[in-house]
Amino acid sequence: MKKVKIAGREIFPIGLGTSNVGDKADKFDQEVEAIRAGLDHGVQVIDTAEMYGDGNAERFVGYAIEPFERENLFLVSKVLPNNASKRQIPISIDNSLKRLKTDYVDLYLLHWKGGIPMEETIEAMEKAKLQGKIKSWGVSNFDVNDMTKLLKLPNGHHCATNQVRYNLGDRGIDFDLVPMMKENSIPLMAYAPIARGDRLGANLTKQRVLQDISKKYHADVFQILLAWCIRNGQTIAIPKSSNTEHVVNNVKAADIQLTEEDLAKIDSVYPEPRVSKPLALW
């Protein structure tokens, strides 16, 4: 298992997503147990956002991480585009820190591109870094053109990651965005890496090749999907699950090293894109 270098740290390549987590009282204890099980098994990255449950997910994360050493974690949160101004970003950061019950976040992302000039957002992010409230900043849902423009801006090269939807059924970014980020030494953060439990329409769990490879490694298809997602050593996958067993299985996927033969078989069914495709969203 290779750790991923991001924002000056080496991080376990599978993290935890938290969208729609912490919203239902009857599932709260189960969701806390799942998060803590992941952390007990080596997870460091927990991804959340001010948008998720209007702050509920951040409050949930703040509670779930209480028993753990803060410096071992890598907390990621995101600011809404409408809040990405010099005036509003400090307010959003402070509110997120209060909900997370921490003094800083390790990575703070612009959730998606909005109407506020990126130069202004970067300036506010850099100021928050100097204040120690965020350790690094990045973006989310940026396509290759967005990233190209970003890197040309003052301090744009400080962008620590781009978080996008990426899984075997949504691998359009392999044509241009992934190579471009690799060339600029920017790691990828992949949301929906198991296609939301194979609910995005690709019927991954029914594919014979994936079933055969999963048997080879005494794993399930979802573990193979995660192993595929992090195969290049420059991707952090952030699957979401409220099931403790599923979370632990997801973590164990980091130990699966797919061979060139495995990858060739997968490519024969889900080939690399040969043309640029629009970024998959949500």
Note the pTM of the prediction, 2 decimals.
0.96
Q: Which domains does the chain have, with CATH numbers?
A: 4-269 (3.20.20.100)
* pLDDT for residue 200 is more than 90: no
For residue 129, count other CB atoms closer than 10 A to its CB: 17
What are the residue numbers of the active site?
Answer: 52
Compute the residue count for the chain.
Answer: 282
Query: Confidence class of residue 1 from pLDDT cuts 50, 70 and 90?
Result: confident
Average pLDDT, the chain: 97
State the pairing for strand pair 4-6/16-17: unpaired
* pLDDT for residue 221 is more than 90: yes
